[in-house]
Structure 1
Amino acid sequence: MRKFQSHTLGIEQGSIVLFSDYQHDGVMWTGKGAREFRHVVSFDNPFSTPPMVQVGVSMFDFDRDTNQRADISAELITREGFAIVFRTWGDTRVARIRADWIAFGDVPNEDDWDVD
């Protein structure tokens, strides 16, 4: 369990189409084997400490003639942002993916004192 140190909790969320590889014969659509796509997200305002981040697929478009394999996660989480990582493998053909994310954690408060 994560306990927040501040009484000020910040929440930021977003949604992004990670790729539309069927439009230009990209590697997620035409490739085989292990493939990975990364997208860096920058927060509008930094958190006080690295926040908790949840990522999920909100839209997917797979080729119906191949197995549907997908792994999505948040990595490299910092106060300023994180990376959405989408992976697939085998014969899977992914036309496009949209990811939604939410981050929540401590944020600076105007009543906080910075004492050295």
Structure 2
Amino acid sequence: MRKLQNHLIGVAQGSRLLFSDFEDGGAMWTGRGPREVRLREPFPEPFKSPPAVHASLSMFDIGEAANHRADLSVGAIDVHGFELVFRTWGDTRIARVRADWMAIGEVRADDEWDV
């Protein structure tokens, strides 16, 4: 369990279209090429320490002829942002994906300084 040591807690949230490959024949839709997307998502303002980040699929447009395989995760979390990471494999064809996210963590007080 993560225990926060500051009484000021910030919550940042957002939504990001990770790709839309069906329009231009991208790798996720054709099944050829890299099947992983990593996008840096900045926070609107920095946290005091790296926050807890949760992401979920909010839109998933997938071809019906194959098994549905998808992995969404977050990585490289720091006080300024994080990476959204989406992967698929096999014969799965994905047209587009959108992810929603939320970050919760300590924020600095207006009168808090680094000395």
Give the aligned partner of residue 78 of structure 1: 78
Give the aligned partner of residue 7 of structure 1: 7
Alignment-mate amino acid for residue 18 of structure 1: L
Taking the TM superposition and a 5 Å limit, the aligned residue runs for 1:51-70 are: 51-70=51-70
Q: Could you list the runs of 5+ residues in structure 1 that have no partner in the other structure?
A: none
| CA–CA distance in structure 2, aligned partners of residues 17 and 45 of structure 1 | 21
Does structure 1 residue 30 correspond to structure 2 residue 25? no
| CA–CA distance in structure 1, aligned partners of residues 56 and 43 of structure 2 | 17
After TM superposition, the runs of 4+ consecutive aligned structure 1 residues lying more than 4 A away are none
Q: TM-score, normalised by structure 2?
A: 0.94
Instruction: Say whether the 8 Å CA contact 1:46–1:79 is kept in structure 2.
Output: yes
The CA RMSD over aligned residues, in Å, is: 1.4
Q: Residue 110 of structure 1: CA displacement?
A: 2.2
Does structure 1 residue 97 correspond to structure 2 residue 97? yes
Range that drifts further, 105-114 or 6-15: 105-114
Q: How many pairs align?
A: 115
Which secondary structure does the structure 2 equivalent of 1:22 belong to? Answer: coil
Which secondary structure does the structure 2 equivalent of 1:2 belong to? Answer: coil
